[in-house]
Amino acid sequence: MEQSVLRGKAWVFTDDVDTDLIYHNKYLAETDPKKMAQFSFEYYPGKENFAKEAKPGDFVVAGRNFGAGSSREHAVYCLKELGIPVVLAENFSRIYYRNAINNGYPVLFVAGLSQAIKDGKIKDGDELEVNIGTGEIKDVTNGNAFHGDAVTDLEKDIMASGGLIEYLKATATKK
Amino acid sequence: MGKTMIQKIIQRASGKEVQVGDRVWCKIDLSTARDFGGPNCVLQFDEVTDKAKVWDPDKIAFTFDLQAPAHAEKVANNQKIIRDFAKRQGISKVFDVNWGIGQHVLLEHGLVKPGDVILGTDSHMNLLGGVGAFATGVGNTDIVASWINGTLWFRVPETMRITTTGSFGKGVCMRDYLTFLVGKLGADGMFFKAVEYYGETIEKSSLADRITLCSMVTEMSGKVGLITPNGEVLDWLVKRAGKEVIERIEAMKADSDAIYSDDLHFDVSKLEPMASCPDAPDNVKTVREVAGTHIDQVHIGSCSNGRFEDIAAAFEVLKDAGFQVSDNVRTIITPTTREVMKQCAEAGFIQKFLEAGVVFTNPTCSLCTAEHYGVLPGGDVGVSTTNRNFIGKVGKGSHTYLVSPMTAMASAVKGVLTDPRDILK
């Protein structure tokens, strides 16, 4: 697991961000994950230019139930391909959670993040320092600190393998 | 300690005694993909397995529903990727563009039994909980994994019990109750949980109503809503899926000392027509509160509310209004499946709808996306019986009210959002 401290800009989203806002149904016919990045958050009001303006290393920060809605794995691929190293949210919707784990894409569960966003304790454009390994999150712009919990149990093993297919291959070899 | 239905289903599928929170590998009874997500599954499977054979071609099915028939070359090519793969792998359960919405087609073909574990690239797969199946929407990687060895990982969820009593008043139906629940519980009100629905209202409800009720568990972030088939629904299911259905129901019944995380009771007797207002399913008001709102388009259909009973309910409203929809709105009806469309034809509905000015389409998901037909231009307001209304979902800058088929038709007749009780005689 990554132990080094990552530094990047925060892109802050609300609670219940639906997959249509992350990756709109208009582009579902796309089958190449590399081409999905350009459509990230195109339908999210106020964040239409996210894909153009976000830099590799920036962070997606959201409240409760991130990734609600559709089963589309596009919504994980697009952020991964854009170089967003981790999504920080209070919690994640069921299918989005699976899709992230299955791709070895890090997500951190940050208690209190929904309220912190509403209270302006973490804002768009803030500089963040994130240690995915320890879960330490620091908003350098205003000095606020948060803690993110990584996944546990089987999900941790799948993440460690790099994703579900890699996990299956690794366990099949062991047998 | 007693077990809930989902625990019993997972125990059967995993061969293990399970507790809430356990992660287990379940045998998959049916692993499906559709024209959306399906090509991604095929390409990924071929890449990671170097074009190996799937684990069991008889337990894989493809449905074409999101963009059926194809409206663009990219989509047409995607559909061909699926057809070619199915042929190469010897997968015979391919329901092409002439069949309709996947879950419903699978159900009509007897491929769904209570207690089955079913996967699909559709977040509303879980509407099959309406006949007691644990069906769940997943991404392409989960599907690919299941095609490799026929199993998939699950976390054993908590179970919520919802008991419903009372009968619906005139102009009020299961969709209104569902909308009420989404508003009451909120977008994460069933977070990761399974749900068991009980009570007289459920026991006497039709298959269509059970599907409706289970179809928006996803909009409350739940895993699956389960209803035990009984009465006419059970007869229908046994006819399609065989006598094993009865054994399955016995095996998956919740124990009397099962533990529930929540125990909710609602009575629907005084419920009014409800609407999910722009721009979220849980932004719920009564139709009375928003009546008179300007609208541009009405759509009746989708996996939630496009079965024969839904269209028949809309037909009754149209009949009481003298068989004419407003010239100021575009009214579109989309049956769920070919079987439903045939029922509508046999009942004489289609002729009347066409005469009234309705666009009656082939069975498809269509208006659940902004990438097929019926797209809304920016600024337009739609009224729909689909299940999501996030801003721009069916066209950038458009807004949608989600309502029952009766409210949708009443609004189509008047040209503004209308409570169906103002029309029904």
B100 and B246 in a common domain? yes
CB distance B370–A25 less than 8 Å? yes
B152 and B26 in a common domain? yes
- Band (pLDDT 50/70/90 cuts) for residue A4 is confident
- The model's pLDDT over B27-43, given as tens digits with 9 standing for 90+, comes to 999 999 999 999 999 99
Substitution target from B141, B185, B367, B400 for chain A, most A beta carbons within 10 A: B141
Mean pLDDT of B232-258: 98
Residues composing chain A: 175
Substitution target from A94, A103, A164, A175 for chain B, most B beta carbons within 10 A: A94
Distance from CA of B302 to the nearest CA of A (A): 15
B383 and B256 in a common domain? no
Residue in B closest to A172 by C-alpha:
B149
Range of the domain at B80: 5-266
For residue B93, tell me if it sits in a domain.
yes
B417 and B288 in a common domain? yes
CB contact A79 to B (< 8 Å): no
Residues of B in contact with A64 (CB under 8 A): 188
Residue in A closest to B192 by C-alpha:
A94
- Whether the full predicted model's pTM is greater than 0.90, yes or no, is yes
Residue in B closest to A45 by C-alpha:
B391
B213 and B67 in a common domain? yes
B216 and B361 in a common domain? no
Q: How far is the C-alpha of B211 from the C-alpha of B175, rounded, in Å? A: 10
B252 and B127 in a common domain? yes
B214 and B341 in a common domain? no
Distance from CA of B353 to the nearest CA of A (A): 29
- The model's pLDDT over A79-135, given as tens digits with 9 standing for 90+, comes to 999 999 999 999 999 999 999 999 999 999 999 999 999 999 999 999 999 999 999
B285 and B248 in a common domain? no
What pLDDT does A1 receive?
Answer: 47
For residue B271, tell me if it sits in a domain.
no
Residues composing chain B: 425
For residue B145, tell me if it sits in a domain.
yes
Residue in B closest to A64 by C-alpha:
B188
B309 and B261 in a common domain? no
The answer to whether residue A175 scores a pLDDT higher than 70 is no
Helix (H, G, I), strand (E, B) or coil at A133: coil
The answer to whether residue A173 scores a pLDDT higher than 80 is no
B300 and B220 in a common domain? no
**Contacts of residue B199, Cβ cutoff 8 Å, sequence gap at least 6:** B162, B163, B164, B165, B265
* B205 close to B228: Cβ distance less than 8 angstroms: no
The answer to whether residue B371 scores a pLDDT higher than 60 is yes
CA atoms within 13 A on the CB side of A54: 29
User: Which residue, B386, B395, B342, is CA-closest to B368?
Assistant: B386
Tokens standing for residue B372: 């097929």
What is the value of ipTM here, to two decimals? 0.96
Last residue of a domain, one of B266, B293, B315: B266
- Band (pLDDT 50/70/90 cuts) for residue A172 is confident
CB distance A20–B218 less than 8 Å? no
Range of the domain at A68: 5-174
CB contact A120 to B (< 8 Å): no
Residues of B in contact with A70 (CB under 8 A): 123, 137
- Band (pLDDT 50/70/90 cuts) for residue A2 is very low
- The CATH code of the domain that includes A138 is 3.20.19.10
- The model's pLDDT over A33-44, given as tens digits with 9 standing for 90+, comes to 999 999 999 999
Distance from CA of B321 to the nearest CA of A (A): 36
What pLDDT does B366 receive?
Answer: 82
B348 and B216 in a common domain? no
β-sheet with B117-120: strand ranges across:
B93-95, B60-63, B30-34, B117-120, B134-137
CB distance A73–B218 less than 8 Å? no
The answer to whether residue B354 scores a pLDDT higher than 80 is yes
Helix (H, G, I), strand (E, B) or coil at B186: coil
Exposed/middle/buried for residue A32 (C-beta within 10 Å: 0-12, 13-18, 19+): exposed
End-to-end alpha carbon distance in chain B = 52
* B336 close to B304: Cβ distance less than 8 angstroms: no
For residue B77, tell me if it sits in a domain.
yes
- The model's pLDDT over B141-172, given as tens digits with 9 standing for 90+, comes to 999 999 999 999 999 999 999 999 999 999 99
Last residue of a domain, one of B223, B247, B266: B266
Average pLDDT, chain B: 97
Find where tokens 């996996």 sit: B303
The answer to whether residue A3 scores a pLDDT higher than 70 is no
Name all contacts of B254-259 with Cβ < 8 Å and 24+ positions apart: B254/B2, B254/B3, B254/B4, B254/B5, B254/B8, B254/B159, B254/B196, B255/B2, B255/B3, B255/B4, B256/B2, B257/B1, B257/B2, B258/B2, B258/B3, B258/B4, B258/B7, B258/B159, B259/B1, B259/B2, B259/B4, B259/B20, B259/B159
Last residue of a domain, one of B203, B237, B266: B266
Give how far Cα B55 sits from Cα of A166, A168, B62, B83, B148, Å.
Answer: 18, 14, 15, 18, 5
CB distance B392–A43 less than 8 Å? yes
Domain count, chain A: 1
Domain count, chain B: 2
Tokens standing for residue A148: 């993110």
Residue in A closest to B48 by C-alpha:
A165
CB distance A163–B122 less than 8 Å? no
For residue B281, tell me if it sits in a domain.
yes
- The CATH code of the domain that includes B370 is 3.30.499.10
What pLDDT does A174 receive?
Answer: 67
Residues of A in contact with B388 (CB under 8 A): 18, 20, 69
* B114 close to B8: Cβ distance less than 8 angstroms: no
96-115 in chain A: CB under 8 A from chain B: 98-99, 102-103
Size of interface A-B (CB pairs under 8 A): 121
- Band (pLDDT 50/70/90 cuts) for residue B313 is very high
Residue B4: Cβ within 10 Å count: 27
For residue B359, the 8-state DSSP code is E
Distance from CA of A75 to the nearest CA of B (A): 10
